[in-house]
Amino acid sequence: MDPTEFHSFLASRRSVREYEAGGITEEEKDYLLSAAKTAPSAGNLEAWDVVIVTDDGQLEELTDASGGQHQIFDSGCAFVVCANYVRSMSRYGDRGILYALQDATIAATYMMLAAHAIRLHTCWVGQFDDEAVKEILDLPTHMRPAVILTVGVGMPPHASPERMDAEEHAHYDIW
């Protein structure tokens, strides 16, 4: 892939909140998982896990736990990517909390981009009640849900959101 192609690939992804019914195939789920496996992680500990939810009842509960964000139910498939604190803290102590969250969000990012590569649509949902999600999925106490990534076939919005100029983010050598 040349650099321009890579940039167009990134720029053409949109958060999608309107979905068609139907869900995704097992092969598509596996493709996302195999992409996430290539992500870097602190100490190569891969301190993340994912619960792939397709059950209508659970999707409805996750929708409620995120303040009614209907894209979770409508997509038919949610990848709930979690930080595994024990896996990271067993080596890194308190720093492992940060590393596990970073590992989980990088893995989720790889899944999001892998979905885009196979023309599926996603929405990264970060606003949810942690405790409610833990209860719905029966997560052990050392797991923190970091991202609910909806995955499906949907209708991307026509308009692209405004972005800050790259220069507004960048500082050179010192703030």
Residues that bind ligand FMN in the complex, under the rule CB under 6 A:
14-15, 17, 69, 123-127, 161
Return the residue nearest ligand FMN (CB atom). 126
Nearest residue (CB) to ligand FMN, 69 versus 88: 69
Nearest residue (CB) to ligand FMN, 7 versus 141: 7
CB of 112 to ligand FMN, least distance (A): 9
Nearest residue (CB) to ligand FMN, 125 versus 133: 125
* The length of the chain, given as a count of residues: 175
CB of 136 to ligand FMN, least distance (A): 16
Task: Give the burial string for 32-63 (b: 16+ CB within 10 Å, else e).
Answer: bbebbeebebbeebbbbbbbebeeeebbebbb
- Residue whose pair of structure tokens reads 């080596």 in the numeric block: 91
- Of 79, 95, 62, 82, whose CA–CA distance to 144 is shortest? 82
Contact in structure between 90 and 96 (CB atoms under 8 Å):
yes
CB of 58 to ligand FMN, least distance (A): 18
Type of residue found at 88: S
Does an H or E element contain 78, and which? strand 78-84
CB of 125 to ligand FMN, least distance (A): 4
Nearest residue (CB) to ligand FMN, 92 versus 124: 124
CB of 139 to ligand FMN, least distance (A): 19
Contact in structure between 55 and 137 (CB atoms under 8 Å):
no
Nearest residue (CB) to ligand FMN, 15 versus 54: 15
